[in-house]
Amino acid sequence: MNPEHYSKLEKMYLQAAINTTLYETTTIKISEGITEIKLQISEKYFHALGAIHGSVYFKLLDDAAFFAVNSIVKDAFVLTTSFNINLIRPVNKGVITAIGKLKFKSRNLYVAEATLYNENGKDIAFGTGNFTKSNVTLSEKIGYK
């Protein structure tokens, strides 16, 4: 376990422009191989039918899986190489929670899964992604501080 590493990753996530402008109600908690992200639903995330757009599902699932992987990669920023999602049910209110978990690691490949829950604990979406280490070092330059 490395609480300082997790804290730096959390700050990097929360300070990213997309999260400070569009997803400002997001919270994140990272531990070894697991990440939890919460988002308060707002109408600004809705499509024409009055529920959150699939891009919100994707972002939260990918972010949760991504940081579950980066929690164990301490020297480089990881990259998503593929990510598949399954949408189960719509949601239009409350707080949604994405839980990402590392499932597999090898020298060049990491696999993680994530599930998105509504505030009643029901699954609303899930996904699985493949990740790899980039050539970008975790540093203050990219918000890792």
* Contact by Cβ (8 Å): 112, 85: no
Give residue limits of the domains in the chain: 3-136
Helix (H) or strand (E) holding 1: none
In the chain, the percentage of residues whose pLDDT exceeds 90 is 98
pLDDT tens digits, one per residue of 90-125: 999 999 999 999 999 999 999 999 999 999 999 999
Query: Quick one: pLDDT band at residue 137, thresholds 50, 70, 90?
Result: very high
Average of per-residue pLDDT values in the chain: 97
Residue given tokens 């990440």 in the structure block: 35
Span 58-84, pLDDT tens digits: 999 999 999 999 999 999 999 999 999
- The class (CATH top level) of 3-136 is alpha beta
Q: Mean pLDDT across the stretch 18-35? A: 95
Q: Say whether pLDDT at 1 is over 90.
A: no
Per-residue model confidence (pLDDT) at position 124? 98
Residue 7, CA distances (Å) to 31, 67, 69, 70, 143 in order:
9, 12, 15, 12, 11
Percent of the chain, pLDDT > 70?
100
Question: What pLDDT score was predicted for residue 10?
Answer: 98
For residue 130, count CB atoms less than 10 angstroms from its CB and return exposed for 0-12, middle for 13-18, buried for 19 or more.
middle
d(CA 32, CA 60): 18
